[in-house]
Amino acid sequence: MFTGIIEELGKVSSLKRSESGARITIAAPLVSSDAAEGDSIAVNGVCLTALEIGGGGFSSDVSEETLRRSTLGSLTKDSRVNLERSVTPSTRLGGHIVQGHVDGTGTFAGAEAEGDFWTVRIGFPKEMSRYFVYKGSVAVEGISLTIARLEKDHFEIAVIPKTWELTNLSTLKEGDRVNLEADVIAKYVERLVGEAIDH
């Protein structure tokens, strides 16, 4: 489990594809400093298992399913990625509950500067619209964010200077895909209400 508070902006040092997936290696001095093999690290909001830790980075195996469902399949050498270690019992929950299970991908629709702050627009697929609410939580590229404006096919988020500086939001170009994870509470509510109606 994660909080959506990004700890480090890492860099992909290699990505080797195979028939069944890929091996990704990420330069990440901070998050790898106390990592042990088998630890979970969120990469752009996707929960991966750290392997071969050392030299200021770590590697992870990524399945073909994950490459298809998320933006990890479009990463290349030197891509910048948002990184977060999994929570511990003493961690402050500064964001919201983020599982690292990407529900789908959206589209970066642009960003406008307003002083030191940024308003970012994210387009989303129709099937995810039911999970989003005004002032609700959403994870974009693994970043815990609050929906400041909600339309039928996109939402806007207000990004503080620190988040703009420490994440890959500032590197995105219009039309780029982004990983989206809806608030898990919304998904549980949907399931429970559906079960109640069926009975």
Query: 7-41 pLDDT, tens per residue?
Result: 999 999 999 998 889 999 999 999 999 999 999 99
Tell whether 78 and 116 lie within a shared domain: no
Of 23, 56, 85, which marks where a domain is finished?
85
Tell whether 139 and 185 lie within a shared domain: yes
Domain that holds residue 30: 8-85
- Has residue 91 been placed in a domain? no
Burial of 152 (C-beta count, 10 Å sphere; 0-12/13-18/19+): exposed
Q: Do residues 104 and 136 lie in contact, with contact meaning Cβ atoms separated by under 8 Å?
A: no
Tell me the pTM.
Answer: 0.90
Q: How many domains does the structure of the chain reveal?
A: 2
Q: Do residues 56 and 11 lie in contact, with contact meaning Cβ atoms separated by under 8 Å?
A: no
pLDDT in tens, 89-131: 877 778 888 999 999 999 999 999 989 999 999 999 999 999 9
- Has residue 98 been placed in a domain? no
Tell whether 110 and 179 lie within a shared domain: yes
Percent of the chain whose pLDDT exceeds 90: 84
pLDDT in tens, 134-173: 999 999 999 999 999 999 999 999 999 999 999 999 999 9
Tell whether 116 and 173 lie within a shared domain: yes
Q: HSE (CB half, 13 Å, CA atoms) of 8?
A: 20
What CATH number should be reported for the domain holding residue 121?
Answer: 2.40.30.20
